Structure 1
Amino acid sequence: MNLAEARAALKTAKRVAVLTGAGISAESGIPTFRDAQTGHWARFRPEDLASPPAYARDPEMVWEWYAGRYREVLNAQPNEGHRLLAGLEREKGEGFFLATQNVDGLHARAGSKRLVELHGNLLSARDEKTGEIFPLAAPNALQTPPTSPNGNRMRPNVVWFGEFLPEDALEAAQNAFHTCEVALIVGTSGVVYPAAGLALEAMAEGAVVIEINPDATELTPLLTFSLREKASAGLAQLLA
């Protein structure tokens, strides 16, 4: 398949499923989890900052890390890639579905609505006793660990190492990729499962699966077409 054929397939498709990863947010200046481990945080393993045992051992330290990332995310803005996907959703309507591995909330801020956040959201926290999700206070008013309106301590609303993805979000994503005509895999390395398996599910059902990534990934040889571009540039070419 070439670019013109990929464009035509996307244009005529009534059901489109999209998976995005860190690559689309990098253009908004948001570092990946590991890239954010600089200075004081460079001496920690990821599991020391993002796992249930780490939180049980030192919730104050874990919250210090996540409060810093929360401030970074709030300072970032959606980029053209986020906006192009929001526009594609408006075009396709109910036939569109977006699953993201990112926790920065930029897709929603760009206008995406038919969306699941597979790994959670840094802008919110979860009541440890009730499981309810609440938005975090503004950074200048945030006290960590934060307390929910119920009076209970809250944990970051993200999926940690050793935890399962939210069942309802994963099921919705699997259903969308199982039934789509075209799938877009944007800015993701294709090594984090089960999210990476969504592309293979779509391929198995006969969908056209298009990857946008500046570098080849483990998925590249298995997919219908790949654009070696950053997220925004690749989406602009595909939607031209």
Structure 2
Amino acid sequence: MEKKLGTGEPNSIQDWFRQRNGPLYAGNFPWCDATITWAAVDSGNYNEVCFGIDWAYTVAHAARFDLAGQWTPMTKGVQGTGIRRGDIVFFDWNHSSAIAAIDHVGLVTGVSGDAVMTIEGNTANVCARRVRYAADIAGFGRPKYKTPPVKTLPAVSLAHVLAAQKADTAGAQGSALHRTEGRLLENALKAKGLLAARWVDGSLGSKTEDAYSEWQKAYSAKHNLGWTGTDVNGKAGMTSLKALGAETGLFRVVA
């Protein structure tokens, strides 16, 4: 929906809808629900928001939510109904909660007290953000959005890192006691711009230790932590290792 903010008319949403649904939608037709349909398709939520149907008629769209048992009339106020971000909100400018009286539709982007923040197509002939209140809201449909899979980050063991820092530094060039975890650590330092790609080989030798030290100093300064001495000597600790993993999003830390 944010991609279309500021869109006037006639516009690409109308063209897109007409190409999919034919000359019945010629000219400058009302496009508020066509905007919801476009956004649903573009975001990969077509079935969840539109039930596999392109909508231009808001009454029919709301009725489809009702048929699916996913409709809540605005009869208990904003707080009482629990309207929330992601809901498809339908409006009746004559202040009823009747589906047959619906005039307009938008997407809820947030709720603050009794105010409902939205993005709407075809509001004063543009796509814009609005703040709405219960009196104008007939009700809302709640799509059954897909739950995104939880991303499990690869694990880096602090004990393995410490052992590798000791063994790899003392061993031959390129020695790697725990190469897979070493690469994860080195890729994080590379992402911070502190380690050249040619040293990302899983061997936690002096180059990696120097880069880790530079990261410790930079992180301490950024967050006013006052790390000194052994806190910034390039040796891993649970606090710093977790911080590096969290800051780069490349690994999680286990003992």
Fold in common (TM above 0.5): no
| Bigger Rg, which one | 2
Question: Which category of TM-score, normalised to the shorter sequence, fits these structures?
Answer: under 0.3
Relative contact order, CA 8 A, sep 6+: which one is greater? Answer: 1
* TM value normalised by structure 1: 0.23
